[in-house]
Each structure stands twice: as C-alpha cells, then as structure tokens.
Chain A
Amino acid sequence: MSVANRPVHRPLSPHLQVYKPQLTSVLSILHRATGIALSVGALYLALWAICASASPATYATFQSFNTSILGRIFLGGWLFCAFYHLCNGIRHLFWDAGYGFELKDAYRSGWIVVAVSLVATIVSWIAGLRLV
C-alpha cells in the first residue's frame, strides 16, 4: 500500500443516541446554541439602530415589541445568551492557550461559567426591570 493510500486512524464522534449527557457536553452544545441565538440577536441589534434612525413612528413600532411580554422574554433571553457565551468563550480562550484541560479543571471552570452567567443574568433582569 502506498503512503498516500494508507488509512488514517481518526477518532470517531460519540453517537448521540447512546451518549449520556455530562456537564461538559451540555455546556459545549449550549455554547453553539447560544452562539446561533446571538447571531440572530446581532441582526436584531442592527435592526434597532436602523429603526432609531428612521422615524419616531418606526421606532415606536419597534419599541412596542420590546416592551411586550414576548419582547421582554426575547431581550432577557438575549442577555442570558450573551453572558453565557461570553463566560464560556473566555473558558474556550483559556483552553486555546493550553490551560485547564484536566477533567477536574474542566468541571470546575464549567460550574463557574454556569454560576457567573446565571447571577449576571438575574442581576441584569432585576436592574433592567426596576428602570422600566
């Protein structure tokens, strides 16, 4: 067998059907999910600037969604996604730099991310709703 045709022994991905969820795997998929949500949120942020530049009437229409129950859930959810993706993104940057790969470190940093993003979200919700 020539060198070019020699099979390459790559690792296989785990099959999701038989895979027991762990903190590390759940946080990993949550990073993707919040990333996708934030991409939509970035478009919404752009739309906000566009509406603010258009006219008072356009902005009022936009704001009427923000102040509705659905809008509050949407913006509150955006804040959680932002805080979670931010904290877990910093965790990823530490991994990229070569730190925190031990299993106990991965779990410890994972729980820190969960705690910080939840506390930041709750504090922002309380602060935001008090100002409304």
Chain B
Amino acid sequence: MNSDLRSPLSRARGLGSARYGVHHWWAQRLTAIALIPLVVWFAVSLIMMSGADYLIVRAWVGSPVVMVLLTLTIVIGLHHGQLGLQVVIEDYVHGDGWKLALIVLVRFTAVFFGLAAIVAILRIGFGG
C-alpha cells in the first residue's frame, strides 16, 4: 500500500491526474502507430518531389491514393501533435488560465488547419 504513488481515492477512481483515465494516452499511441508508415511514405514522397513544379505537384496530390494517404497524414499528424503539445503545456505552464487558453488555442489551430487542408486536397482532386 505504501509503495503505491497514488492516494487511495485517486486509485479507486482510476482516472489519473488529467481526470480522463487512459483515453489520452491510448489515442497518442494509436496515432503514433498509424503515423509510422504514413511518415515514411510522406518523407520519401517529399524527397522524390523536390524540384517538382506546380502541375506535377497538383497531379500527384490529386491522384486517389495520394488524396487518401495525404489526408490521413495531415489529420492524424495534427491530432498526434495536438495531443503531444497538450502534455507539454500541462507540464510547463502552471497558471490554470494560461494552461486552458493555450490548450484551446492548440486545438482550434489544429482543427482549422486540418479542415482547410482537407478542403484544399479535395479541391485539387475534384478540379475546383
């Protein structure tokens, strides 16, 4: 009992210091595993595309397989980044107000850029 680092009450609740249980931890791992093949694919593509012009880039982005993989890379990447930044903010920002404000800002920025990127990819793919 003495070797347990948690208080008896928090142990009974089983939700941890963030009060969300293991959901955040699990989401971070799932997105990490998904990103392993996606980042390798994207890094190789990025290298192959160095020096590519506007039309080549658009033709590449607009092909069906790339549309799916690129959307996954950006959305899962932003989600994973947002989860990671949240932990960094929780660790280093101590005022509750600032902490909440920064976490909200990170979330909103991630969702905004994610949605804008999806619209952009669809526009290229479907010829907008």
Q: Name A's B-contacting residues (CB within 8 A).
A: 3-4, 6, 8-11, 32, 35-36, 38-39, 42-43, 45-47, 49-50, 52-54, 56, 59-60, 63, 75, 79, 82-83, 86, 89-90, 92-93, 96, 124, 127-129, 131-132
Contact = CB atoms under 8 A, between A and B. Distances in A.
Given A35-B81, A60-B54, A45 B74 contact: yes
A52 B6 CA distance: 51
A93 B48 contact: no
Contacts of B32: 89, 92-93
Contacts of A39: 78, 81-82, 84-85
B100 interface: no
A82 B40 CA distance: 9
A86 B36 contact: yes
Q: Chain B contact residues: over half helix, strand or loop, or mixed?
A: helix
Interface of B: 2, 5-9, 29, 32-33, 35-36, 39-40, 43, 46-48, 50-51, 54, 57-58, 61, 70, 73-74, 77-78, 81-82, 84-85, 88, 109, 113-114, 116-117, 119-121, 123-124, 128
Contacts of B51: 131-132
